[in-house]
Amino acid sequence: MTKFAFIRDDMDRLREEGLLINLRVMGSPADAWMIVDGKRVLNLCTNNYLGLANHPRLKEAAKRAVDEWGVGPAAVRSIAGTQTLHVELEQRLAAFKGVEDALYVQSGFCANQAVIPALVGRDRESGQQDVIFSDRLNHASIIDGARLSGAKIVVYEHCDADDLERVIGENLPNYRRGLLVTDGVFSMDGDVAPLDRLYAVAERHGVMTMVDDAHGEGVLGGGKGIVHHFGLQGQFDVEMGTLSKAFGVVGGVIAGARVVIDYVRQRARPFLFSSAVTPADTAACLAAVDLLEESEDLVNRLWQNTAVLKGGLADLGFDVGHSETPIVPVMLGEAPLAKEFSRRLFEEGVFAMALGFPTVPRGKARIRVMNTAAHSREDLQFGLDAFSRVGKELGVI
């Protein structure tokens, strides 16, 4: 017995259950087609919703920024790392979202770890504790941010405003203050939170509101996100977003009322203790904002492609769950079947990864299909034909 025996045992268990993660290696930029493990395949796997990750204007903006600003800021934002590029991006993002202010951080994951502990927790002197009301299927970054805060976490049933009303009524009187946190678009199922109903409940009880719009930005609300989709701009207290999906780059954004964002600048540990985002990334994000402000063509193309792919998979007989967005889960049940389905798709020239526990609940393994504005109708038909062949071969359809 060695001190690392537990690692070998756990790895063996993951392998036996079909849950071991094997990393595929990308040999080309994220685009409609990619080189993966040395093979050219149709990419139905990345979050590159608008096809911006390899867009010429974003690449050119990044190159210019390197020439002007160098490759890194070499400091945290609060000491010497805040460059005019960062300030310009924050102002542009706030205007784009229709709010007073925004804060740009290193990633969407960091954004949730930054803002949640800043707003709620436990008072060191009095011992008073706050409470977070969290959707049962919220993203791991929300869960981790909530745990870091030290606040009490109360889970309400998925997208259920009536259950939110119940748990707020039962718990809020026992705590100092409350925060509602929900994903906007749920990344594994593609369904959308009923933000208007959740907001109404929270407002009745004086609870702060926060939405993680990582998969809604560039997708819903004409590209401006879920808050615009529901007409709640300027009313939701905090919008968290990421610039690594529809925007095609990297970074996270915390947007909302100026009083909130100013406070987060003082309290957010990832902002205070981790180096600022690089000039190239920041400039590329600015170029992405330019494109989204100029036209909704890419957003419209994304939704047109979504209708083709989602409708085609359903017509073939696949269970595509309850998705309302370009995230399309092809439900397969058990992880080994999902892994084999993904492997066979790859052999057929389609890159679409299997997702199993703990990313999704046990017994709900799936292939998560992600189309983009970069795909042509011919690309989508190629993917549908491959799904048809593999689905019949494995007895799924």
For the segment 40-72, what is each residue's pLDDT rounded down to a tens digit? Answer: 999 999 999 999 999 999 999 999 999 999 999
Contact status, residue 138 vs residue 182, Cβ threshold 8 Å: yes
- Do residue 93 and residue 31 come from a single domain? no
Q: Please say if 215 is a catalytic residue.
A: yes
pLDDT confidence of residue 111: 96
* Mean pLDDT on 363-370: 93
pLDDT confidence of residue 124: 84
The residues near 166 (Cβ < 8 Å, ≥ 6 apart) are 156
Residue found by looking up tokens 């939405």 in the block: 211
Give the domain-ending residue among 258, 275, 294.
Answer: 294
- Do residue 219 and residue 314 come from a single domain? no
- Do residue 38 and residue 145 come from a single domain? no
Residue 325 lies in a domain: yes
| CATH code of 231's domain | 3.40.640.10
* Mean pLDDT on 91-113: 96
- Do residue 345 and residue 259 come from a single domain? no
Distance in angstroms between the alpha carbons of the first and the last residue of the chain: 47
Q: What is the percent of the chain with per-residue pLDDT over 70, rounded to a whole number?
A: 100
pLDDT confidence of residue 358: 76
- pLDDT exceeds 90 at position 18: no
Q: What is the percent of the chain with per-residue pLDDT over 90, rounded to a whole number?
A: 92
Q: Please say if 224 is a catalytic residue.
A: no
**Better-predicted residue by pLDDT, 112 or 358:** 112
Give the domain-ending residue among 234, 259, 294.
Answer: 294
* Mean pLDDT on 64-85: 96
Give the domain-ending residue among 244, 263, 294.
Answer: 294
Structure tokens at 90: 């924050």
- Do residue 97 and residue 112 come from a single domain? yes
One of 55, 97, 224, 245 is an active-site residue; which one? 245
pLDDT digits (tens, 9 = 90+) for 161-213: 999 999 999 999 999 999 999 999 999 999 999 999 999 999 999 999 999 99
* Mean pLDDT on 296-323: 96
Give 1's pLDDT tier (boundaries 50, 70, 90). Answer: low
| CATH code of 21's domain | 3.90.1150.10
- Do residue 161 and residue 271 come from a single domain? yes
- Do residue 185 and residue 323 come from a single domain? no
Residue 211 lies in a domain: yes
- pLDDT exceeds 90 at position 360: no
* The total number of structural domains that make up the chain: 2
Contact status, residue 132 vs residue 181, Cβ threshold 8 Å: yes
Give 361's pLDDT tier (boundaries 50, 70, 90). Answer: confident
Residue found by looking up tokens 């996270």 in the block: 252
Q: Please say if 392 is a catalytic residue.
A: no
What is the rounded distance in angstroms from the CA atom of residue 151 to the CA atom of residue 176? 10
Residue 4 lies in a domain: no
The CA R_g of the chain, rounded to the nearest whole Å, is: 22
- Do residue 242 and residue 206 come from a single domain? yes
Residue 122 lies in a domain: yes
Domain extent at residue 370:
13-43+296-393
pLDDT confidence of residue 396: 95
pLDDT confidence of residue 267: 94
* Mean pLDDT on 284-309: 97
One of 55, 139, 215, 310 is an active-site residue; which one? 215
pLDDT confidence of residue 195: 97
pLDDT digits (tens, 9 = 90+) for 125-175: 888 999 999 999 999 999 999 999 999 999 999 999 999 999 999 999 999
* Mean pLDDT on 24-32: 96
* Mean pLDDT on 255-259: 96
Residue 2 lies in a domain: no
φ, ψ dihedrals at 362, nearest 5°: -60, 140
- Do residue 165 and residue 272 come from a single domain? yes
Residue 163 lies in a domain: yes
* Mean pLDDT on 216-233: 95
- Do residue 23 and residue 108 come from a single domain? no
What average pLDDT does the structure give for the chain?
95
- Do residue 227 and residue 165 come from a single domain? yes
Give 21's pLDDT tier (boundaries 50, 70, 90). Answer: confident
- Predicted TM-score (pTM) of the model is 0.93
Give 271's pLDDT tier (boundaries 50, 70, 90). Answer: very high
Phi-psi label, residue 74: left if phi above 0, alpha if psi -120 to 50, beta otherwise: left
One of 187, 244, 342, 388 is an active-site residue; which one? 187
